[in-house]
Structure 1
Amino acid sequence: MVYQDCSDYFCLENFSLAIKTLQEKIGFEVSDARSLTNHRTDAFEMLDEACYADMAVFDIAVMKEVGNVQVMQLCTMRS
């Protein structure tokens, strides 16, 4: 959000502070829309047995459809 006069700056690592401050100062209610956009990981089984960096996007979409999502992990770079 951009306002003419800014008195607060927030980071995502402490988003709960932003929610509380916005509610107290201007009555703005933040709604968690992740479940509406399917942009979340809490509803999936986490997999960490492989590196998925080279997997085709279609294959990842199929895994997501059946309820799996990949854990982000560092993979060794190939020379």
Structure 2
Amino acid sequence: MMAVPVLGLGLFCLFVYFFDNGKVGITEFFERMGRCFEIDLGLPKRGFDDLSSRKRLSRTHFLEVLWERLNKKFDDADAYDPGKGRY
């Protein structure tokens, strides 16, 4: 389901005051984010409650996968390439 990762990313951005120094309202933020990704994110409070009550996956699973893949990409880019003669 696409809405769950987008919701997790949205909550992260909202809670670290990534947009408008935290002045944007949660409902307005998720309405705009839903339109941007063309998905219905539903009620932000319910999505937050669903993520916080997870049992099978980590509550921040999407962000953890994002962090791991981004770091792997950086590590791969920094790895030694004998063809280019650099690290």
- TM-score using structure 1 length: 0.25
Bigger relative contact order (CA 8 A; separation at least 6): 2
- TM-score using structure 2 length: 0.23
Structure with greater strand percent: 1
Bigger Rg, structure 1 or 2: 1
Structure with greater helix percent: 2
